[in-house]
Amino acid sequence: MKIKTGDKVMVISGHYKGTVGDVIAVMPKENKVVVEGVNIIKKALKVSQQNPEGGIVEKEAPIDASNVMLYDNKAKKVSRIGIKVNDKGEKVRYFKASGETVKGGKK
């Protein structure tokens, strides 16, 4: 999976199509990602010592990784991702449309 936590992505299909947000979590075994502000669900919480009031909480649910693409801030559009070796011998991700290396993202 070429998407990492902290990347800026755009949703390319579904109800939230066109929404740009940061990746909060990546689940490579399930091929899913959690994107900030996308796929909001309401979850009922029981009353407990950690949560004395209980109630309904809105939070982001995972969506399939095939429904998002990395967003290039300079070009202001989405692009496919490739991997190449830079001058220092390190593997880096780059946008195939512009050729720029991807900044950000945590391993």
Answer with the residue of higher pLDDT: 51 or 64: 64
Domain parsing of the chain, residue ranges: 8-95
Task: Return mean pLDDT, the chain.
Answer: 91
How far apart are the C-alpha atoms of 28 and 22, rounded to whole Å? 17
What are the structure tokens assigned to 18, written together?
């066109």
Those residues whose C-beta lies under 8 Å from the C-beta of residue 20, and which sit 6 or more positions away, are 8, 9, 10, 11, 71
Q: What integer pLDDT is reported at residue 19 of this predicted model?
A: 93
Asked if pLDDT for residue 10 goes beyond 80, the answer is yes
Q: What integer pLDDT is reported at residue 78 of this predicted model?
A: 92
Answer with the residue of higher pLDDT: 107 or 98: 98
* CATH pick for 8-95 out of 1.10.357.10, 2.60.40.2550, 2.40.50.140, 2.30.30.30: 2.30.30.30
Averaged pLDDT for residues 60-88: 92
Length of the chain equals 107
Q: What integer pLDDT is reported at residue 107 of this predicted model?
A: 59
Work out the angle at residue 32's Cα, subtended by the Cα atoms of residues 30 and 36, and round it to the nearest 5 degrees. Answer: 150
Kindly report, residue by residue over 31-46, the tens digit of the pLDDT. 999 999 999 999 999 9
